[in-house]
Each structure stands twice: as C-alpha cells, then as structure tokens.
Amino acid sequence: MNSKQMDYVIEAAQTLNFNRAAENLFISQPALSYQIKSVEEEIGFLIFERLGKSIRLTPAGQGFYQQLLGIRQQLLGAIEQGQNFSSQYSDNITIGYPFRSHLHFLPQAIKTFRKQHKDVLVTPDIAQKDWLTRFREKQVDLIFTTREMAEKLPNAFIHPLYTSHIYLLVNPHDPLAQLTLAGAQDLIDRTLLVNGGSSQTLRRVQKKVLDQVKLQTLNSPTHDFTMVSVASEQAVCLSPGYLKDFSREFRWIPFDTEETFDCVLVSHKDDQRQTITDFIKLLQDVYQEKAQTHQL
C-alpha cells in the first residue's frame, strides 16, 4: 500500500461515501473503488462493507483506519522534516523531553546556537510517553531528565544542567499564595494531590508531610489533572520546579524541604559530534545564568 492509497482509505472512512470521497480526492469514483479493492486484496480483509450506494467500516476496517491515521501523521511529519533538513541544514540535533516547561529556556538557547551554527537544525521532540524508549532506540539525540532516571540508561553520557527544588503549587487566589515559604503545617485540613506520575523523591516528601499533619489526599493520574485541580482550588500539590511554566496562572511557593531534583541532559556515548558538545555547553551556560535570577 502506498501513501496515495492510504489517503484514499482515510478519506473514504471519514466520508463513508465513495462518491463524495472521490470528489474530495479529485479522482473518479471507479478509480477510488479500484484502489480500495486493491488495498483490501493486499491486506487480506475487507475495510468497508458495501450496502447498496452506501458503505460502512467493518470492525477490522475501523481498527485499520485508526492505525492509518497515526501512521499518516508520522509519515507527513517525516516528509516535512526531511524537506526542511535537505533544503536548509547539514545536521540535525533532536532533543526529547516530556513537557515544554522542563526546558523553558530552550528557545533562548536555540536562538543563540543558530547564530553560531546556521546550518544545524535543533528539533524539540516533546512526548509525554515513551520518551526514554525513544532515546534508547536512538530516535532522539539528547533528552532532559533527572539523574535518578538517567543513571538507568545504558551507553549514555550524563551532563549536569540545573538543580530543581520542590514547590507548593496553589491557585493565586488561595490564601496560601501569600506565603514566601511553605511547610507541612500550612497544609493542615487541605487536600493534597498525590501519587500519579510522582517520582520517588516527590513521594518521599509527600509521605513526610502526611506523617506530620492531618490531610485529605486525592490521587492525580496525570499532569493535566493536577493543573485543573489546583486551578479550580479543589486541591494543592507539591511539584518539582522543572514543571514551572512561569505564567501567572499559578503561584509556586518554595517548600521547606532539603529534597531536590538533579536535572540533566543525556547524550549517546557514541555520538561524538562537535555540534552536540557545543549545544550542551550552551544550554548549561543558559541555565547557570537563569538559576541566579529564577526559581527553578
């Protein structure tokens, strides 16, 4: 199956009408029917059930269509990336991390780096799932993570970036937002978000707080759930500073604990490109400067 046939199947699945799909694709209806029949013969099952002049997806066709959507998106991204790379750049550095806030000052570093290396493209790869696997499989050149996670990766160099502290995250209208330093006693009778994707470091701090004061807790399955819960004043949470987005939507109050996160960049041992070395050094310089003026 080629890319055009992929488009034909997707368009037919979205319109559930061969005539309309053919019009949208600027081909004849018989040509579309022939191409889809060819795909069905190739893959060995029916994608569509023909019902007179109408069609509907078979159960197998529904699953096939859903998979095709993801494959086509990846294909289009790869083509666009290749077009950009071939026309302007001689090298590419892909840096992976789960959330944009983890590397809030990355745009500044890229801007400076491009002045030094105009023919090198820096590609952010923000993926909340499987980003460590993507590094192991060499789909990205660099990743941002904590030293705790980095030390589990094989054949990797670890590059210190910055120390991230723990903060109490609250709605700006919450009375706690007036604090300059928060402690366990400030959270008495509050609801604290716990578990979910919390690291071992953060879980230790949560446990210490729960051992000291009486609190209600609410399990948070995702980062977005946490943000909505705090914004709605349903709960407060303890959060690493590397999740801070520097907006005014939330108040980040330093929390009284000695626990911190050692944030690092990780590169592949066998990647000896000078551009990688230069970019890592530049990011380190940016974050060393920002650490003096911003709470991280």
For residue range 117-173, what is the model confidence (pLDDT) as tens digits?
Answer: 988 989 898 876 777 888 888 889 999 999 988 998 989 999 999 999 999 999 999
Mean of per-residue pLDDT scores for the chain: 89
Tell the burial category of 244 from Cβ atoms under 10 Å away from its Cβ (0-12, 13-18, 19+). buried
Place of tokens 């368009």: 11
Higher pLDDT among residues 129 and 247, named by residue = 247
For residue range 208-235, what is the model confidence (pLDDT) as tens digits?
Answer: 999 999 889 999 888 889 999 999 999 9
Indicate the pLDDT class of residue 292, thresholds 50, 70 and 90: confident
Looking at residue 88, its amino acid is Q
Tell me what pLDDT residue 84 has: 63
Looking at residue 41, its amino acid is E
Neighbours of 232 (CB within 10 A): 9
pTM of this prediction exceeds 0.75: no
End-to-end CA distance of the chain: 49
Q: Which domains does the chain have, with CATH numbers?
A: 3-79 (1.10.10.10), 88-161+269-294 (3.40.190.10), 166-254 (3.40.190.10)
What six digits make up the tokens of 269? 């041992």
Neighbours of 67 (CB within 10 A): 10
104-112, Cβ contacts within 8 angstroms, sequence gap of 24 or more: 104/244, 104/245, 104/246, 105/286, 105/287, 105/290, 106/283, 108/286, 109/279, 109/282, 109/283, 109/286, 112/282, 112/286
Average pLDDT over residues 59-77: 87
For residue range 21-37, what is the model confidence (pLDDT) as tens digits?
Answer: 999 999 999 999 999 99
